[in-house]
């Protein structure tokens, strides 16, 4: 058995909105919901505050809200292609929760190396 444990670095701040909407639509989420998500995370700004200093507002070009309960659910759509990399072959399985993923394979360790290359090509592993 081979196991590969993945923790996606900076998962929520790294979400690209266009890809998220695409992944949600691909999974059958109605357009009215994906439009609402896009509106919710578009046009956000942040400032840096420390030692009495406050920066000018900076536009956020990607990411979903770290503390929002909805973010965990929508990230599952964003991360779903990673789980789908396992085939219907009974020797493969994948489990994902938020930014943690476990890929399992029985017997054929060369196949998991192929999966790693596929994931790397899809920008899941940096």
What would the mean pLDDT of 29-42 be, rounded to a whole number? 91
Q: What is the CA radius of gyration of the chain?
A: 17
Please tell me the predicted confidence (pLDDT) of residue 103.
78
SS3 label, residue 122: coil
The more confidently predicted of residues 62 and 117 is 62
Query: Which pTM value belongs to this model?
Result: 0.65
User: For 30, which DSSP code?
Assistant: -
State percent of the chain over pLDDT 90.
Answer: 21
Tens of pLDDT, residues 62-110: 888 888 888 888 888 887 877 776 566 567 777 777 878 787 777 655 6
Q: Tell me how far apart the alpha carbons of residues 71 and 73 are, in angstroms, rounded to a whole number.
A: 5
56-71: burial string, b at 16+ Cβ within 10 Å, e else: eeeeeeebbeeeeeeb
């Amino acid at each position: 058995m081979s196991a590969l444990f993945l923790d996606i670095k900076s998962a929520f701040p790294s979400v690209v909105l266009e890809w998220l909407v695409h992944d949600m639509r691909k999974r059958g989420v109605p357009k009215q919901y994906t439009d609402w998500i896009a509106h919710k995370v578009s046009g956000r700004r942040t400032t840096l505050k420390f030692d009495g200093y406050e920066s000018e507002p900076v536009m956020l070009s990607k990411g979903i809200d770290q503390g929002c309960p909805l973010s965990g659910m929508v990230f599952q759509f964003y991360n779903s292609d990673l789980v789908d990399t396992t085939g219907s072959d009974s020797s493969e399985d994948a489990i994902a929760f938020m930014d943690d993923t476990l890929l399992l394979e029985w017997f054929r360790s060369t196949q998991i190396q192929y999966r790693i290359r596929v994931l790397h090509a899809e920008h899941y592993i940096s």
